[in-house]
Amino acid sequence: MKKHIFFLLCGAVVLTACQNKALPDPRKDSSHFVTLSTAVPDVILEIRYFSTYNFVGERIDGYVQPTALITKEAGAALKAVSDDVKAQGYRLKVYDAYRPQKAVDHFVRWAADLQATQMKPCFYPDLDKSVLFEQEYIMEYSGHTRGSTVDLTLFDMRTEKEVDMGGTFDWFGPESHPDFCGNPETGEYTGDNSASPAGRSITPEQFSNRMILRQAMLRHGFKPLSSEWWHFTLREEPYPDTYFTFPVKQLD
């Protein structure tokens, strides 16, 4: 009887120890991701948040190396996009893909500091910084953190230059909207620039260039964002409710 009691007590101790052991945090798990240049060998990377040329003006927290990560599913879809545009004479140029929550937190802190405006002339000259939260240019959570969103443009292999999209990546304003000066559903250029507070405009060619990128992304399973011509998310993203926290660095 004493032996049975001893084994019961030991079992209870083991069970309690297992229950008290913390489960792995799925937000820290990068095993479902791939280095973007591995998934899409033809991609050109210009990781703006690893550099100081971005709307904050300094390297962003969480970007340990100048590389890009993406979920395996989004990487496979982006490879199809790359093959598509390559046949048209272009390559994909990526500014950002997976973005750790630490980076988003950095954006939030920066937006709350109304004195930090050194990059205003480059990225938000028509806006007072105090409206960035209100107008949702800065938010506490980003779709990028779920791992299947990418910010990108086209590179012309004939001219060996970035394609002219009529505006820079991360420009805060209606000029970045896909429907600026045209109808993205039909691809028709209208020239309507009434939304621009400074009367800015884009040409028919610049609008057409935006549509080349957009249509290729849509053909291969990505969905657009109504406020940024460069931003696309995999329509069937595998982790729609997980905001990952591991840093951006080359995966083994």
Among 46, 73, 175, 228, the active-site one is 228
Decide if 205 is catalytic: no
Q: How is residue 138 written in tokens?
A: 């800065």
Half-sphere exposure of 179 (CA within 13 A, CB side): 9
Q: 118 CB contacts (<8 Å, ≥6 apart)? A: 57
Q: Do residues 178 and 165 make contact, with C-beta atoms less than 8 angstroms apart?
A: no
CA-CA distances (angstroms) from residue 36 to 77, 116, 126, 241?
A: 11, 32, 34, 22
> CA–CA separation, 56 vs 236, rounded Å?
31
Can you tell me the distance from the alpha carbon of 32 to that of 34, in angstroms, rounded to the nearest whole number? 7
Q: CA 102, CA 116: separation in Å to the nearest integer? A: 19
Closest CA to 172 of 214, 206, 126: 126
**183 strand-pairing partners:** 188
Q: Are 147 and 70 in contact (CB under 8 A)?
A: yes
Cα 158 to Cα 194: distance, rounded to the nearest angstrom: 34
Task: Using alpha carbons, list the distances in angstroms from residue 236 to 48, 74, 101, 148, 239.
Answer: 26, 9, 21, 9, 9
Q: Which residues are catalytic?
A: 228
